[in-house]
Amino acid sequence: MTSATRRLLFIYTGGTLGMVQTDAGWAPGADLEAWLDDQMAEQFPGVAHDFVALDPLVDSSSATPLTWQRILDVIDAHHDSHDAFVVLHGTDTLAFTAAALTFALSGTGIPVVLTGSQRSIVRKDSDAPDNVRGAIRSALDDRLNGVALFFDDRLLEGQHASKISTTDDHAFESMDAAPLALRVGKDLVFTPGERSPLPSAPAERQPFREADIVVIQLHPALSSARVDAMLTPAPEAVIVRAYGSGNAPEDDPQLLSALAGASAAGSVVVVTTQCAHGGVDLGHYASSQPLLDAGAVAGGTLTTEALVAGLTFLLSQGLDADQIRTTLGAATA
């Protein structure tokens, strides 16, 4: 780590780590900037740092693609003056934001590490100090290339993280990709190998806009009439959380024709799995063939969070449905 010459920017977006208890429940109010100044003086003397907070702060359960864009605007405005970025964020949609920034900053190599905590900095048992120090160390490490999420001793690829616990310190897991690095003592031990492929970023990035994306989780009691209603009018994209390796009921022509109708009307229909690991393999079982016939494409091992973020990114770039199907196909092959 060559931290002595580095300048770090903290981007505080909101979340539990900066909250205090109020009559109405936990809400923003801690002096996070002063706390970070202390952390830097104790742990990273000699590293210059600055602090920007979103105004207003956002509980991440209220975040939208426009919140992702507000974070990107700060990074864009400071990337000539700062070498690394730590984004302090609520845990609820941290995985979505990490994936969104990963897609948007793909190919730039700008080191951005997102983190949060299960308990506020004002509590003695807070997990924030460990997470924030790990995020700072990761962002300043020359081996990091691009966007990642640090939580509970693990540095995860931004497009493979999922929140797996509402209470445990071990709140995030990397789905279908090895962690980029593990913290052992104070050191980071990086995993050898390439990072997972990403849909290629356009030369001139357009800002995130709100997108019309529907997520449909298949279940045995789901009626095709309900699916039909969810797809009327046809959204810009549909993510089908199918069974196992991408399977759906074979004997439900109305469900499949609703999906085929949406696809024909211009929706990008992407299939992912309800399983935590392994991804989808459309065509492996006969019961996945109807989804292919309905015009669906496979989401590979991308999580639902990454698909929501990735589809929003590609739609924001002005790509049409066919271009998005091809781009996703290339990234998930």
Question: Shortest approach of ligand ASP to residue 14 CB, angstroms?
Answer: 6
In the bound state with ligand ASP, the residue whose beta carbon lies nearer, of 62 and 232, is 62
Exposed / middle / buried, residue 176 (Cβ in 10 Å: 0-12, 13-18, 19+): middle
Which candidate, 43, 104, 94, places its Cα nearest to that of 74? 104
How many Å apart are CA 23 and CA 145, to the nearest integer? 43
SS3 28: strand
Which positions touch ligand ASP (CB under 6 A)? 14-16, 59-61, 90-92, 116
Least gap, CB of 29 to ligand ASP (angstroms): 14
Cα distances (Å, whole numbers) of residue 99 to 10, 103, 265, 296: 19, 6, 28, 22
Nearer to ligand ASP, 59 or 236 (CB): 59
116 versus 299: smaller Cβ distance to ligand ASP: 116
Give the nearest residue (CB) to ligand ASP: 90
Min. distance of Cβ 304 from ligand ASP in angstroms?
Answer: 17
**Least distance to ligand ASP, CB of residue 132, Å:** 13
- How many Å apart are CA 199 and CA 208, to the nearest integer? 15
Q: Which is nearer to ligand ASP, 128 or 213 (CB)?
A: 128
Quick one: which of 94, 93, 116, 96 has its CA closest to 104? 96
Which residue number, 92 or 252, has a Cβ lying nearer to ligand ASP? 92
Nearest to 141 by CA among 83, 192, 88, 193: 83
16 is catalytic: yes
The single residue of 2, 13, 16, 312 carrying the catalytic annotation is 16
Dihedrals phi, psi of 77, to nearest 5 degrees: -70, -20
Q: How far is the CB of 120 from ligand ASP (least distance, A)?
A: 9
Q: Which residues are catalytic?
A: 16
